[in-house]
């Protein structure tokens, strides 16, 4: 992709229910283009339509930025914002150079408010898990079961 000097471009990847945005900018004709990736995820059980697979999106991002991302921003830790990065052997960005990683303040282990928030969130997850187990013991319609499975698992 040719980036015009002084122009900002934003590419949104439609991966279904998820977020993945590549922002590029080139200040002058002779300057190097800079790229920022904001999130890279999709909800795996989503029924939303997608225009490309996560593999196609990552390949396009790599080609567009020549494998160099100046900044990767992770807005928050939900599946539809993170799952596209992959993990372990399936980490999809191993062939990238990432100059800076920006995480949400909620991920800072030194922030006491973030620490309290994470603890409360963990407590909520336990409560939701118990609610899901209780709901599974009830006589639910197929649509109710589908709803619970999609949003509570």
For the cut 80, the answer to whether the pLDDT of residue 135 exceeds it is no
CB neighbourhood size of 5 (10 A): 12
Beta strands in 55-148 (DSSP E): 68-74, 97-103
pLDDT at 63: 95
Whether the per-residue pLDDT at 85 is higher than 90: the answer is yes
Position 47 pLDDT exceeds 80: no
Q: What is the structure's pLDDT at 114?
A: 82
- 79 versus 126: which is more confidently predicted? 79
> Looking at residue 132, what is its pLDDT?
65
**Is pLDDT at 152 greater than 60 in this prediction?**
no
Which of these, 21, 39, 22, 23, lies nearest to 82 by C-alpha position?
39
């Amino acid at each position: 992709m040719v980036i015009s000097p002084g122009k900002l471009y934003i590419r949104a990847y439609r991966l279904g229910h998820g977020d993945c945005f590549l922002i590029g900018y080139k200040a002058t004709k002779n300057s190097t283009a800079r790229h920022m990736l904001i999130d890279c995820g999709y909800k795996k059980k989503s029924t939303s339509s997608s225009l490309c697979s996560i593999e196609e999106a990552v390949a396009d991002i790599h080609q567009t930025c020549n494998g160099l991302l100046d900044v990767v921003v992770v807005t928050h830790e939900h599946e539809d914002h993170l799952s596209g990065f992959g993990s372990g052997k399936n980490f999809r960005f191993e062939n990238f150079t990432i100059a800076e990683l920006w995480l949400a303040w909620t991920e800072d282990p030194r922030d006491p408010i973030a620490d309290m928030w994470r603890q409360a969130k963990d407590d909520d997850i336990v409560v939701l898990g118990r609610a899901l187990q209780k709901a599974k013991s009830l006589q639910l319609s197929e649509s109710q079961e589908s709803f619970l499975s999609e949003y509570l698992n």
